[in-house]
Structure 1
């Protein structure tokens, strides 16, 4: 999946000559944490964050006359003096995996998205990433729950799982296979809250549940649970 479908397009930007207080007000007005800094032709020249801006303001512990003098000087200081010029970027063709890797590596909350001419066409944030993966994995889908079983190591696991669930009139919408600490797991998002019935059906064909429901649990969630609570088994 590509970030073009999830990025914030046509983002608010500022020029490098904008004063630090003006950029700070803009950030507060829009409740942003990151702003791309662009040249007149919209090409990226830097990135400024709310942390950069807060750090630029004089401390409140200074005496009033000194602080006012610093604020007066700050009003004439361009944002280019505090922006980051070494900026990692994404393109509209970057994948969600690309974005996850770069956001984690750079330890930032957002990255600018640029076209082939390095013009800013969007911003992609951690919030956008979470929204994308929430949709990708069906988190919060009404009437669904997540079930995890251990792969039994036999051929054609998905075919056997699909057949077993079909026999019990259960539909699954997502499937992921992972390996952790030497054991393979299969995660299924199923369109039912009767998790115990799903586990029983899969155990009958050799798939052990990663987590057994406690005896006192019904294994069923309410219609309004949205796939959480007792309806979520991971």
Structure 2
């Protein structure tokens, strides 16, 4: 999945000399929580968040102190509080690469830049979540989701797909990874306008030895219930 398809391109940004008071106003007006800080050439030089300003401001204030806080926020510049040289990612990358970088750098968003390091977008953890929901097919209102643990050898996945084909159901998504134990974890989502065909495919695959769970209409059914040691 390309970052281009999931990033927000209309990014609100500020120059380094912007006051914290104005930054706070932008957070509220645009219902955002982070602002890239850019220089005159739109190169990203920092990142400031609503939580940064909240931590900077006194938590308990009286009437007079509120005026003092407003003065302080008006006098303090973004460059004095921003994260300098924040993690960024090139627009030609993938969402998977962005998610990996977020985990490695322990950040919740990445300003997206072009080859000249100029700001062209922003990608947040919520954009990553939306991409995950989309690629998994979880947003689809109908259909059946089934997950299997299979031997990592040729033909194991094809066998399941061929069986689904026999019942004439439509396959929405197929996700597959190799787990640490060398087995293949597979998740398949399928659907049909013919409910009977969907039912037959589900009942057939319920007997598959590698089945871990199946889900339908928002309900998840585990083949083997865990034995929690309480």
Q: 1:58 to 1:152 in 2, by over 3 A?
A: closer
Gaps in structure 2 of 5+ consecutive residues: 225-230
Match of 1:107 in 2: 106
Corresponding residue to 1:208 among 180, 185, 210: 210
Q: Pick from 206, 219, 226: which aligns with 1:229? A: 219
Partner of 1:97: 96
1:200 to 1:207, Cα distance in 2 relative to 1, 3 A = farther
Q: Which residues of 2 match residues 11-30 of structure 1 at below 5 A? A: 11-30=11-30
Structure 2 residue aligned with 1:166: 165
Write 1 or 2 for the structure with the bigger share of strand.
2
- Show the 5 A alignment for 1:176-195: 176-180=175-179, 182=181, 183-192=183-192
Question: Does the aligned pair in 2 maintain the 1:110–1:123 contact within 8 Å?
Answer: yes
C-alpha displacement of 1:99? 1.0
Query: Contact between 2:152 and 2:178, CA under 8 Å: does it hold in 1?
Result: no
CA gap of 1:42–1:186, structure 2 versus 1, over 3 A, is same
Q: 1:198 aligns with which of 189, 197, 201?
A: 201
Return 186-195 or 110-119, whichever deviates more: 186-195
In the alignment, the residues of structure 2 paired with residue 72 and residue 169 of structure 1 have an alpha-carbon distance, to the nearest angstrom, of 68
1:10-56 deviations in Å (ceiling 9; x for gaps): 30111111111111011111110111011122111110001111122
> Given that residues 211 and 223 in structure 2 are in contact (C-alpha distance below 8 angstroms), is that contact kept between their aligned partners in structure 1?
no
Say yes or no: does 1:80 pair with 2:79: yes
> CA offset at residue 186 of structure 1?
2.0
**Count of residues in correspondence between the two structures:** 220
Give TM-score, length-normalised by structure 1: 0.81
Match in the other structure for 1:38: 38
Moved over 6 A (4+): 193-196, 231-234
**CA offsets 1:37-90 (integer angstroms, 9 cap, x no match):** 1112211111000111112223324x5545533432331221111011130001
Contact 1:145 1:233 in 2 (8 A): no
How far the C-alpha of 1:185 sits from its partner, in A, is 2.7
Secondary structure in 2 matching 1:135 = helix
In structure 2, C-alpha distance between the alignment counterparts of 1:198 and 1:208, rounded to whole Å: 15
Where does the alignment leave 5 or more consecutive residues of structure 1 unmatched? Answer: 214-218
Three-state SS of the structure 1 residue aligned to 2:45 is strand
Distance 2:81 2:151 in 1: 56
